[in-house]
Structure 1
Amino acid sequence: MRQLWNGRVKTQPAAIARCLTVQDVIHTVRWTRTHGLPLSVRAGGHDTAGRALSEGVVIDLSQMKAVTVDPDQRTAHVQAGATIGDLIEATTQYGLVTATGNCSAVGMAGFTLGGGYGPLTGAYGLGVDNLLSAQVVTASGQLLTANAEEHPDLLWGLRGGGGNFGVVVSLEYRLHPLTTVLSGMLLYPLGEARTVLRRLNDFMATIPDELTIQSGFIQMPEGATVLFLLPSYCGESAAGEQVIAPLRTFRTVLVDQVQSITYNEFIHQWDANAPKGRHYSAKTHSIKGFQPEIIDTLIEQGLPFSSPFSFIALHHFHGAASRVGASETAFALRQDHLMVELIAAWEPQDSEQRHIQWAQHISGSLAPYAFKGGYINLLDEHEIERVRLAFGSNYERLLDLKQKYDPDDVFRSTIGHLAPNSLTR
């Protein structure tokens, strides 16, 4: 129960409450408040920073993972312990999906509350853009429903503001008709990465919403580092082939795995690359695009990796996600950009210092070219100021919501510090 996805997290809670019902959650919140103990919430447990575990009481929602689909209304009601894999397995039989991340083991609640980048961002927006309602247990032990009619201000805050306002016990999502995607890895030699990324930068400005392109660098089993592009097209397959075709002409393609596959198959493809129990350290920035200085920084400062398990991934934000106003949700960065994940990964027996330093070094090198702030799901406890900058003009409104729904700062999922008594206005 204490083991998270990131094996590096060794926090020892005083107690873990394995909740099976909403009433269990209410009881645990009230009991914990009565005894003045710190509290944290574990859902999917896939957070790199380990915020799911406090040294006090952990509300474990991992057993609350039921998914109920209404195919007529095209909605899904999801308990907070459900993973991306749980949700997609339930919706697939109806030919429906919602915006998810790339990895099936990630919890839908945490993924959504921080924003939710993924392979369908261009067509359907972020995870938060598909969140219709949520049930929340507040610090006083009340169960609230947040939707367009009830507590709409709270729903606004949950759409990208993190789990700072209570224990989210269930979420309702908008679903979209989709059974297959045209997707797969395109691998290019490292020596041609500069040319490919320059051409990709121009290409991304011309593509339709249906195509979202993840990119980055990975190390192959035989030791070679390669550039990867992962296009995902969610429209008609024949049209997708024509749209994706130029990617194959950028330079030499070492491996071409692009094919039509079910979305359920797609989200399981990356699972083996980031297994539970390995040690991880993450850094993040958001950049406008592949400008020459950014390409040089990624290659010259990021490579070679400190470990064959480390990787750099860039998530493509465009299309439907960019057409949402910056003030419509708590998630504020609504212009086209790339969200950079710098993931240091190593086996438990290895010394961690050089891996952490690798991520810190490339992060520092990218910072001058990046937007201020960063993706809150990947920021760590030492980056408090970047949280404020990430929310931009929405920050003041989030502080007001915090004062209204959790004035005693019980819930601290966004680096633990979105509270009037811990950050200044």
Structure 2
Amino acid sequence: MITTAAVRELAGRLSGPVLLPGDDGYAAEVAGFNRVVEHRPAAVAAVRDAAEIREAVGWAAAARIPVAVQATGHGPTATAHGDGLLISTRRMTGVTVDPDARTARVAAGTQWHEVIDAAAAFGLAPLNGSSPLVGVVGYTLGGGLGLLSRAHGYAADHVTAIEYVGADGRPGVATAERDTDLFWAMRGGKGNFAVVTALEFSLFPAPHFYGGGLYFPGEHAAEVLHTWRSWTAALPEETSSSLALLRMPDLPAIPEFLRSRLVVHVRVSHLGPADEAERLLKPLRQTVPPIADTLGEMPYARCAAIHHDPASPVPYHERTLMLREFDGPATGELLALAGPDSACGDILVELRHLQGALGRPPAVPNAVGHRDAAYCLTTLTPPGGEPDTVVEGMAHRGTGLRYLNFLTGPQTAQRASQGYDSATYTRLTEIKDRYDPENLLRFNHNIPPRAPRR
């Protein structure tokens, strides 16, 4: 049990605040971007560097107190509550780029926009996702499906070193040559095995980048979806794309043409010159007249403009399914579930095109699966909405697995096993046995040890 005296003792070791429920700043410190989960830990510790993470984890380990970690809170699952300690890493930021090695080293609380800007100075780009406000560590440990993934694979495939503090409070560095089981498990196993203090990963040249979106009226969803599905079948790996059925609320922060109506948004990113991209895009542009066209050549640093993800905190349930294929009949099924004549209430129903480098094994094996999936289906549902209606309606088209980074909300923690095939999950539980046998790191997409000791 966490006592006031124990909290004061921990506070004496840290430069940042250690807060209890009711303290000024507690609510703001535990709040994440996705407000569908409300953390209620017995204490929250704000850390500023790796040494302070060691102090906080060591303190919790000695008292056998469970630990949660949060940087931005974009992907919450289990609520941190009871006697738990929440370690807030949002103050731990910093990026170091090695342009010769084409690598970046980032501190635990770093967001992607910091990496994008630092890498752009050298003509390089990271394997970030659609929102630059997402934390680097959580995104990468969950796999990392991003704008350049068809060309280069998952972000986890290109991690070169993980600096960490184990559940026992001891620090270490995992690489392909050192702590190899832990290195394999953490890349895809989320935050189940240790607390990350820093990551090192590869960057990639981006001399030419083309991106943006086409917005179509919802009544033409069938024509656009069928065209997009056929179009993705022949795309080069340099082109990544997704299609979203949007039902946005009537709010001032949302462009007027998107409010209170169904809009089909085709998102595109292309590693190559503009004339090449324009040739590829002709079939889409010839479908029906778009409401808006934001496609064009841009510096990679402006990649947030492609998806236009929300910049302010919002509550939502996120569900996902990996699809083995998406053919003509599947298109009809999705339209029946989420098209203009459906009763769908999801804010977003999105298909992301996979394959390319995502379908190949990485040079250094990791726990990320889904190499056989062709598309990723994701939905965002407002609180109080009916979750899983679209996803479960398409389940017979799936691989049987789900992508963990797109599986958020208070009912999703128990579904962690659905992110892995049986052999991978068994190995992950065996590694959990060795590195966190008491399951102290459990406020997450939890992979419990085979026989937890508490």
Same fold (TM over 0.5): yes
What amino acid is the match of 2:319?
K
Question: Where does residue 409 of structure 1 map in the other structure?
Answer: 439
Q: Compared with structure 1, are the counterparts of its residues 224 and 384 closer, same or farther at alpha carbon in structure 2 (3 Å cutoff)?
A: closer
Structure 1 residue 327: deviation in Å?
9.3
Mapped partners of 1:24, 1:401: distance in 2: 25
Q: Compared with structure 1, are the counterparts of its residues 339 and 401 closer, same or farther at alpha carbon in structure 2 (3 Å cutoff)?
A: same
What amino acid is the match of 2:446?
G
1:259 maps to which of 296, 302, 313: 296
1:57 maps to which of 85, 88, 98: 85
Which stretch has the larger CA shift, 199-208 or 18-27?
199-208
What amino acid is the match of 1:316?
H
Question: Where does residue 291 of structure 1 map in the other structure?
Answer: 327
Which stretch has the larger CA shift, 252-261 or 126-135?
252-261
Mapped partners of 2:76, 2:219: distance in 1: 31
Question: Where does residue 376 of structure 2 map in the other structure?
Answer: 339
What amino acid is the match of 1:287?
L
Structure 1 residue 62: deviation in Å?
0.8
1:110 maps to which of 128, 138, 163: 138
Structure 1 residue 137: deviation in Å?
0.5
Q: Is 1:74 the counterpart of 2:105 in the alignment?
A: no
Question: Where does residue 417 of structure 2 map in the other structure?
Answer: 388
Mapped partners of 1:54, 1:258: distance in 2: 49
Cα-to-partner distance string for 1:136-181 (whole Å, 9 max, x where unaligned)? 1101111111112211221111221111111011100101111552
Mapped partners of 2:175, 2:60: distance in 1: 27
Q: Is 1:225 the counterpart of 2:257 in the alignment?
A: no
Structure 1 residue 8: deviation in Å?
2.7
8 Å contact 1:42–1:61 — kept in the other structure? Answer: yes
What amino acid is the match of 2:323?
I
Mapped partners of 2:216, 2:258: distance in 1: 15
8 Å contact 1:7–1:277 — kept in the other structure? Answer: yes
Which stretch has the larger CA shift, 181-190 or 61-70?
181-190
Question: Where does residue 349 of structure 1 map in the other structure?
Answer: none
Which stretch has the larger CA shift, 109-118 or 28-37?
28-37
Mapped partners of 1:383, 1:56: distance in 2: 19
Q: Is 1:38 the counterpart of 2:66 in the alignment?
A: yes
Mapped partners of 2:66, 2:203: distance in 1: 36
Which stretch has the larger CA shift, 375-384 or 69-78?
375-384
Question: Where does residue 306 of structure 1 map in the other structure?
Answer: 345
Cα-to-partner distance string for 1:382-420 (whole Å, 9 max, x where unaligned)? 456743242103112212211121122111255223421
SS for the counterpart of 2:109 is coil
Structure 1 residue 285: deviation in Å?
0.9
Mapped partners of 1:77, 1:401: distance in 2: 25
What amino acid is the match of 1:279?
P
Mapped partners of 1:246, 1:371: distance in 2: 29
Mapped partners of 2:105, 2:81: distance in 1: 26
Q: Compared with structure 1, are the counterparts of its residues 53 and 59 closer, same or farther at alpha carbon in structure 2 (3 Å cutoff)?
A: farther
Q: Compared with structure 1, are the counterparts of its residues 45 and 54 closer, same or farther at alpha carbon in structure 2 (3 Å cutoff)?
A: farther
Kindly report the root-mean-square deviation, in angstroms, between the aligned alpha carbons of the 2 structures: 2.3
Which stretch has the larger CA shift, 116-125 or 220-229?
220-229
8 Å contact 1:7–1:276 — kept in the other structure? Answer: no
Structure 1 residue 9: deviation in Å?
2.1
Which stretch has the larger CA shift, 331-340 or 88-97?
331-340
SS for the counterpart of 2:437 is coil
8 Å contact 2:400–2:418 — kept in the other structure? Answer: yes
Structure 1 residue 338: deviation in Å?
1.3
SS for the counterpart of 2:316 is strand
Structure 2 unaligned blocks of 5 or more: 1-28, 248-256
Mapped partners of 1:166, 1:48: distance in 2: 17
Mapped partners of 2:233, 2:282: distance in 1: 16
Cα-to-partner distance string for 1:113-156 (whole Å, 9 max, x where unaligned)? 11111111111111111211111110111111111221122111
8 Å contact 1:317–1:336 — kept in the other structure? Answer: yes
Mapped partners of 1:278, 1:58: distance in 2: 21
8 Å contact 1:42–1:52 — kept in the other structure? Answer: no
Question: Where does residue 277 of structure 1 map in the other structure?
Answer: 313
Which stretch has the larger CA shift, 114-123 or 217-226?
217-226
What amino acid is the match of 1:298?
L
Q: Is 1:13 the counterpart of 2:44 in the alignment?
A: no
Structure 1 residue 112: deviation in Å?
0.5
8 Å contact 2:113–2:133 — kept in the other structure? Answer: yes
Q: Give 1 or 2 for the bigger CA radius of gyration.
A: 2
Mapped partners of 2:183, 2:440: distance in 1: 19
Mapped partners of 2:198, 2:381: distance in 1: 32
Q: After TM superposition, list the pairs within 5 Å mapping 1:366-385 onto structure 2.
A: 366-380=394-408, 382-383=411-412
Mapped partners of 2:241, 2:67: distance in 1: 38
Question: Where does residue 136 of structure 1 map in the other structure?
Answer: 164
8 Å contact 1:136–1:169 — kept in the other structure? Answer: yes
Q: Compared with structure 1, are the counterparts of its residues 268 and 418 closer, same or farther at alpha carbon in structure 2 (3 Å cutoff)?
A: farther
Mapped partners of 2:363, 2:415: distance in 1: 17
Q: Is 1:165 the counterpart of 2:193 in the alignment?
A: yes
Q: After TM superposition, list the pairs within 5 Å mapping 1:169-188 onto structure 2.
A: 169-188=197-216
Mapped partners of 1:63, 1:268: distance in 2: 26
SS for the counterpart of 1:102 is coil
Structure 1 residue 48: deviation in Å?
4.2
What amino acid is the match of 2:395?
A
Question: Where does residue 125 of structure 1 map in the other structure?
Answer: 153
Mapped partners of 2:123, 2:412: distance in 1: 41
8 Å contact 1:376–1:414 — kept in the other structure? Answer: no
Mapped partners of 1:94, 1:52: distance in 2: 40
Q: Compared with structure 1, are the counterparts of its residues 75 and 199 closer, same or farther at alpha carbon in structure 2 (3 Å cutoff)?
A: same
Q: Is 1:98 the counterpart of 2:129 in the alignment?
A: no
8 Å contact 1:215–1:230 — kept in the other structure? Answer: yes
Structure 1 residue 99: deviation in Å?
0.8
Q: Compared with structure 1, are the counterparts of its residues 221 and 256 closer, same or farther at alpha carbon in structure 2 (3 Å cutoff)?
A: closer
Question: Where does residue 213 of structure 1 map in the other structure?
Answer: 241
SS for the counterpart of 2:30 is coil
Q: Is 1:397 the counterpart of 2:427 in the alignment?
A: yes
What amino acid is the match of 2:417?
R
Structure 1 residue 421: deviation in Å?
2.9
Which stretch has the larger CA shift, 93-102 or 320-329?
320-329
